[in-house]
Amino acid sequence: MVRPGMVRMVAAIVTVLATVDASQRKTQYCDVIPDALDPPPHPEVTNQYTCSMEVVSDAPENPGDPNMRLEMFVKEVYDEPGNMFSMQIASKYYVERYILNWNTKQMLFIHTSKNSNEVRECVPRPLSEGVIFFPPILGSGQNLSVSHIVGPGAVLGILNWNETHYKGEYSFRGMTADRWDWCGLKEFENETGSHNISMATYWSSSKWSMPVMPTAEASIPLGWEVEVHEPQGGGSHGYYTVETLVHNIMDFSPGVVDYEEFRIPEGLFCEGMVPLEGHPFPDFSKDRLFTFSMEMRDSRVKDFTWADGWYDFEKQLYRIDHEIMSTPRERITATEVFDFNDGLAFTFGKKIARCRITIVNDTRTDWSDITGIGHLWADSPNAFFGSDLVNYTYYGRRFERYMEGDEWRASRSDWPLDVTGGNNQMLWQWTFANKNVTTVTSLGDHLYVERQVPIGLSVTALHDFQTSFGHVAKGSSFEYQIYDFNLESSAKFDLYSDGGDFDVYNCYSANWRDHLKFKLDVSSWPEIVNTALLTSSRFNEYWQVLLAKTGTVSTLRITRVKTIVEESNEVWIEFVLLYRHPEIGELDSELYSHLTPGFTAHTLIATAINNGEISFGGQKPGGGEFSLEAVRGSLALVVDADCTTTTAQPPTTHHTGPTNATTPYVPPGDNVIYTSGDLVAGVGVGLSVVGTGFRASRRTFLVVVKRLHVTLMNCCKN
């Protein structure tokens, strides 16, 4: 590292013997070399460049010892428009990088050993301490400005071109170069006790072809050095010159900025770093649903797997499709649906013979134990990222999967949950990129909106620690690549049903579900049948949530909601009501007793419809209000004409379409018998007997639901 002590060079190495008569030509007060006649224009330096150089100076521990010279290789990146400067010093065993940012008024010191497991640290420092990297400023006794980056010449040996003197053409590393000197290094003069210290700089000459050709806009610096001139033998005209702090520029790329030099290496957290203003962590608090695909990599065991996720924070429903171990030698794809309203998890799949139901006691630990994905549990949108627990710091732009994105980092110690020893401080690195995502308006129209969405997450152990499953070494990482992140519902990759993202219909036998429908009165806005609203997923989800709330059941138990427009422009809402699954009673009888029975939910929904409490309203596009209300008394069982569904064929007077018919639902009363399947241990048969109708007409029938078909008086034969 460049230090002030490196310029203390009295009587070190005699490299040049000058015997110059200062009266012959103009000479600076500190420089024994006379000025040359007819100087060319001052070299112009671009305001952005990258250069690599060799720096030779005294060893800090032995200043002035000609046998102890320190050689370093330095890479510097100067970006005046970006208001940033970076210096990297590499040696055999370590790499040091200093990032000076005038936007945040801070300098970062990053120290990493070549063996990354030994030393990795990032230390924020005051920007003013960076003056040691600009010898022209330091040697002049000035302070480093913290309001704006220094001029481009200050990095290359020039503080002020107006104070320089042209010394003519000189040989520098065997090349012809234009030499410009200047004096005024008061601080260095005070340190050495000499008033004959000058700064010599060397610039490309038109007589030489350079790798990057100089132009009218940019000259190529070849190097610069501090020179200490000492009298020779006490004479007034004889001097010997000691060259110190020699910078040999090996590569100079004008107009090129290597932005990787401004990036904090992965796996490092800079405690106390000041982030760039205007980059808050993305806020998803107003969103309700995430869908995505992801790849997961565990560096400890070289494990690679995948998953598709659906998180509905409004409904507290979550789904993960991923691989599980069916046998020690086989993985199969499973769907796991979590219902944190009732505290249940459902596991099923094409190769799983029987749907498995699990009681979820503690949301986070059960999520981790069942899915193996402990990092991405969340009970709210921002909790998915952990931004409800910690403040993420913006670390700038970075590339991920050939996309330029933004990165935020935070230090967290809330995962894993089963730590038994050590320091489980983990570095979380989120990368976001801009994407056009679909949003749905209140009238069902789909719009594209540009949003920042996550494309990657890296979780790295900053220390060694132990868990109940074993040792986690420092540097162990868990990598997630996130694809196709969306904020709207989509039944992607759903191989098992047509019931949407969270459908567990097939986990229930026909004895434990009712297929129902009710009619909507659209007279307040008849034209709605031609709008996108009726085909919107949000429209169906509205009814799902409303019906679940009305029936006092989890939204998972209202499924397969559909809006059907008949040829006559009648509008019907179809849905399936799921009963309490009997296996829940076997797992936890107390939980089972607290869940609303299907019969009760059915009754509550019917009562609400009959009381005019089920409706949907809003503003018409052209102005004015509309209200879509459920027609009172219209709740009915859905029946197929061929009697192959869960209900027998109703009378033809209720036929409302070419393939479907309805049986009116009558709330339980003196003339009605209704026995819910879940009221008889989930095995019984639901019955509806319309007593008065049986006595009044031979077409009246007994409806026996749940695929047990009994017909009376010329109804369906089964």
Confidence of residue 488 (pLDDT cuts 50, 70, 90): confident
List the one residue out of 630, 388, 373, 645 whose CA is nearest residue 515. Answer: 645
* Tokens coding 535: 């085909």
Least confident of 208-217, 218-227, 463-472, 519-528: 208-217
Q: Tell whether the model's pLDDT for residue 624 goes beyond 60.
A: yes
Between residues 306 and 10, which one has the greater pLDDT? 306
Between residues 471 and 65, which one has the greater pLDDT? 471
User: At 190, which helix (H) or strand (E)?
Assistant: helix 186-192
Measured CA to CA, the distance from residue 146 to residue 152 in angstroms comes to: 15
For 537-575, give the DSSP string: HHHHHHHHHHHHHHTTS-GGGEEEEEEEE-TT--EEEEE
Least confident of 97-111, 164-178, 497-511, 610-624: 497-511
Specify the pLDDT at position 492: 43
DSSP H stretches of helix in 598-688:
598-610
Specify the pLDDT at position 1: 36
Q: Tell whether the model's pLDDT for residue 205 goes beyond 90.
A: no
Please report, as a single letter, which amino acid is at residue 535.
Answer: T
Between residues 141 and 538, which one has the greater pLDDT? 141
Confidence of residue 210 (pLDDT cuts 50, 70, 90): low
Specify the pLDDT at position 609: 97
Between residues 266 and 506, which one has the greater pLDDT? 506
Q: Tell whether the model's pLDDT for residue 53 goes beyond 80.
A: yes
Confidence of residue 622 (pLDDT cuts 50, 70, 90): confident
CA angle 448, 454, 458 (to 5 degrees): 170
Confidence of residue 299 (pLDDT cuts 50, 70, 90): confident
For 484-514, give the DSSP string: EEESS---TT--S-SS-TT--GGGS-GGGEE
The residue with tokens 């994905």 is 373
Q: Which of 149-163, 256-270, 426-440 has the highest mean pLDDT?
A: 149-163
Phi, psi of 15, deg, nearest 5: -110, -30
pLDDT above 70 covers what percent of the chain? 75
Phi, psi of 69, deg, nearest 5: -115, 135
Measured CA to CA, the distance from residue 178 to residue 168 in angstroms comes to: 6
Q: Specify which residues 58 forms β-bridges with.
A: 69
Least confident of 221-235, 404-418, 638-652, 698-712: 698-712
* Tokens coding 606: 């019917």
pLDDT tens profile 120-172: 789 999 999 999 999 999 999 999 999 999 999 999 999 999 999 999 999 88
Q: Tell whether the model's pLDDT for residue 610 goes beyond 70.
A: yes
pLDDT tens profile 3-13: 333 333 322 22
pLDDT tens profile 316-338: 999 999 887 777 777 888 999 99
The whole-number average pLDDT for the span 422-433 is 92
pTM of the model: 0.75
CA 37 to chain centroid: 62
Between residues 631 and 307, which one has the greater pLDDT? 631
How many C-beta atoms surround the C-beta of residue 637 within 10 A? 22
Q: Tell whether the model's pLDDT for residue 77 goes beyond 90.
A: yes
* Tokens coding 539: 């429209």
The whole-number average pLDDT for the span 675-695 is 31
pLDDT tens profile 375-402: 677 788 998 898 988 999 999 988 888 8
Specify the pLDDT at position 297: 83
Specify the pLDDT at position 589: 93
Specify the pLDDT at position 534: 83
Q: Tell whether the model's pLDDT for residue 419 goes beyond 90.
A: no
The mean predicted confidence, pLDDT, of the chain is: 78
Give the 3-state secondary structure of residue 154.
helix
Inter-residue long-range contacts of 619-626, CB under 8 Å, 24+ positions, other chains counted: 619/442, 620/525, 621/443, 625/524, 626/524, 626/525, 626/528
pLDDT tens profile 646-668: 432 333 323 233 333 333 333 33
DSSP 92: S
How many C-beta atoms surround the C-beta of residue 569 within 10 A? 12
How many C-beta atoms surround the C-beta of residue 659 within 10 A? 8
Specify the pLDDT at position 683: 29
Q: Specify which residues 87 forms β-bridges with.
A: 76, 98
Between residues 414 and 601, which one has the greater pLDDT? 601
CB-based contacts of 652, cutoff 8 Å, min separation 6:
661, 699
Q: Tell whether the model's pLDDT for residue 100 goes beyond 60.
A: yes
Q: How many helices (H) and strands (E) does the chain have?
A: 8, 35
* Tokens coding 5: 């002590």
Q: Tell whether the model's pLDDT for residue 697 goes beyond 50.
A: no
Beta carbons of 181 and 28 less than 8 angstroms apart? yes
Q: Tell whether the model's pLDDT for residue 54 goes beyond 50.
A: yes
DSSP H stretches of helix in 372-432:
none
The whole-number average pLDDT for the span 68-95 is 87
Cis peptide before 667 (omega within 30 of 0): no
The residue with tokens 């094409």 is 350
